[in-house]
Amino acid sequence: MTDARRPLVAGNWKMNGLTADGVALAKGVAAHAADAAAEVAVCPPFTLIGAIGGAIGSGAVVLGAQDCHTASSGAHTGDVSAAMLADAGCGMVIVGHSERRTDHGEDDALVRAKAEAVQAHGMTAIVCIGETEAERDGGQTLDVVTGQLAGSLPDGSDAANTVVAYEPVWAIGTGRTPTNDEVQEVHAAIRQALAGRFGDDVADAMRILYGGSMKPGNAAELVALADVDGGLIGGASLKTEDFAAIIDACG
Ligand code: PGA
């Protein structure tokens, strides 16, 4: 974390949340975010975007989504476009989460096209990358992560329209995390790759989040790392107290 970049704490609710609980959670988060140093976002499932947008109002919390289609509209049954999400009040959209890459066969080219759609509609793409356990064990982590970064980020990416989220697949929902040194090593490699492609100014300003079993107990040490600028939080974003504690750790 550095003063040059405002930390971002983004909650990825995944396929969780019915209206009453989701609204209560969002209101609790909004009350806490009002005084937070970090920027705070919540990414509910599509069904709750309208209700959560109403619950958080125009306050400190950014409304986000978890995926979008590449097209603005058309014959794509079951899909939701970036244009629709912007219209619904979203400011951020997660793209390329490993669960989408695995469950829906999304590759870097598709993730890049989704990120382009998000950016084109004036929102910020949270672009997820991360190695599997086999890739880490095989010593391929930096190659995999920088390869995904190169393939998934649009050419027009900058610090306003893009956030990178490093999420080791084996750390998501498992309670396991890399060591602090391992996290910093990957984040530094990401920033170096960003500098090589977009220049030092963009690389210095773009936020790189850590995701994967971030919790109140480890958030402070993770965000203290030089190139960690906040977190993308799954399980711990579903409890107001836990999410609030992580927000505080990023202050
Ligand atoms: P987790 O999920 O915090 O439950 O590990 C993080 C994510 O998948 O974004």
Q: What is the mean pLDDT of residues 11-39?
A: 96
CA atoms within 13 A on the CB side of 186: 32
The fraction of the chain above a pLDDT of 90, given in percent, is 96
Indicate the range of 55-64, 83-92, 127-136 predicted with least confidence. Answer: 55-64
Is the distance from the beta carbon of residue 231 to the nearest atom of ligand 1 less than 6 Å? no
> Catalytic residue among 32, 97, 121, 187, which?
97
Tell how far the Cα of 75 is from the centroid of ligand 1, in angstroms: 32
Paired with 69 in beta bridges are 81
Question: Is pLDDT of 46 > 90?
Answer: yes
Is the distance from the beta carbon of residue 10 to the nearest atom of ligand 1 less than 6 Å? no
What is the per-residue pLDDT for 150?
A: 98
pLDDT of 87-135, one tens digit each? 999 999 999 999 999 999 999 999 999 999 999 999 999 999 999 999 9
What is the per-residue pLDDT for 142?
A: 98
What is the per-residue pLDDT for 58?
A: 87
Do 88 and 49 form a contact (C-beta atoms < 8 A)? yes
Confidence category of residue 198, pLDDT binned at 50, 70, 90: very high
Which of ligand 1's atoms lies nearest the C-alpha of 174?
5
For the chain, state the CA radius of gyration: 17
Mean predicted lDDT score pLDDT of the chain: 97
What DSSP element (H or E) covers 166?
strand 162-166
- How would DSSP label each residue in 89-148? T--EEEES-HHHHHHS---HHHHHHHHHHHHHTT-EEEEEE---HHHHHTT-HHHHHHHH
Tell how far the Cα of 91 is from the centroid of ligand 1, in angstroms: 20
Is the distance from the beta carbon of residue 177 to the nearest atom of ligand 1 less than 6 Å? no
Write the residue with the smallest CA distance to atom 2 of ligand 1: 234
Give SS3 for 244: helix
Tell how far the Cα of 74 is from the centroid of ligand 1, in angstroms: 31
Tell how far the Cα of 25 is from the centroid of ligand 1, in angstroms: 17
CA-to-CA distance for 152 and 28, rounded, in angstroms?
34
Question: Is pLDDT of 179 > 90?
Answer: yes
Paired with 10 in beta bridges are 41, 232
Is the distance from the beta carbon of residue 9 to the nearest atom of ligand 1 less than 6 Å? no
Q: What is the mean pLDDT of residues 136-156?
A: 98
Question: Is pLDDT of 84 > 90?
Answer: yes
**Side chain identity at residue 220, one-letter code:** A
What is the per-residue pLDDT for 2?
A: 81
Q: Which fold has domain 9-33+45-69+76-159+179-202+224-239?
A: TIM Barrel (3.20.20)
Answer yes or no: 167 catalytic.
yes
**Side chain identity at residue 98, one-letter code:** S
What is the per-residue pLDDT for 59?
A: 84
Is the distance from the beta carbon of residue 53 to the nearest atom of ligand 1 less than 6 Å? no
Do 162 and 206 form a contact (C-beta atoms < 8 A)? yes
Phi, psi (rounded to 5 degrees) for 123: -110, 170
Task: Delimit the domains of the chain by residue range.
Answer: 9-33+45-69+76-159+179-202+224-239
Write the residue with the smallest CA distance to atom 3 of ligand 1: 234
Answer yes or no: 97 catalytic.
yes
